[in-house]
Amino acid sequence: MMARQGQETAIGNSAWPSWMLLLAAVLFWGFTQARADERAVLAAEVQQRIDAFDEIDQLFRALRFKVVNQRSQDHQGALVYADQLVQLAYQLPGLFEAETPRQVIPFSRARPEIWSRKARYDFLMDEFLDNLEEIQALLRQARLTDAGHRIDRTAQSCRRCHDPFRYRR
């Protein structure tokens, strides 16, 4: 009994009083919590852009099939796809603002070159948005053949950006 009391006093007088240990624990918890929050915000942003790209993929296929393969003359119907494509694509630039390394967000396929070669990436993104706006404008004017050509050219811009800026898997 006496011996145990002695031990307790020794701990109480150590260089790390218990309040300091508690403070350190709280600070450490706060730090880890902040890191976890930051990661959750980034993950949500990455998920948003993947969802946007998935929708763009489906709409773009539908638009291409209608205008290029089927040679549909229904420009109003095609315009519904084009309008949605433009709205979705406008969200993209804002969803690439923060760097999202794979060590932090493993499910992202974004390569670090997006941020280290930002001018090139932004150029390709702008070109993509311009193409979608042009398709929209051509469809408004019921110029379906011209819209078809522009759709084919835009399909190449998907690959031109994915090759350098998206991991294969």
* Residues binding ligand HEC (CB under 6 A): 46, 49-50, 53-54, 56-57, 60, 108-110, 124-125, 128, 154, 157-158, 161-162, 165-166
Least distance to ligand HEC, CB of residue 68, Å: 13
Least distance to ligand HEC, CB of residue 11, Å: 50
Nearer of residues 81 and 165 to ligand HEC, judged by Cβ: 165
CA atoms within 13 A on the CB side of 40: 6
In 3D, which of 166, 154, 165 has the Cα closest to residue 86? 154
Least distance to ligand HEC, CB of residue 91, Å: 13
Q: CA 49 to CA 52: how far, in whole Å? A: 5
In 3D, which of 149, 82, 160 has the Cα closest to residue 123? 160
Main-chain dihedrals φ then ψ at residue 110, nearest 5 degrees: -75, 130
Nearer of residues 50 and 137 to ligand HEC, judged by Cβ: 50
Nearer of residues 62 and 158 to ligand HEC, judged by Cβ: 158
Least distance to ligand HEC, CB of residue 42, Å: 10
Least distance to ligand HEC, CB of residue 161, Å: 3
Q: CA 40 to CA 56: how far, in whole Å? A: 24
The first and second tokens of residue 24, run together, are 């350190």
Nearer of residues 19 and 47 to ligand HEC, judged by Cβ: 47
Nearer of residues 84 and 157 to ligand HEC, judged by Cβ: 157
DSSP state of 96: G
Other beta carbons within 10 Å of 130:
12
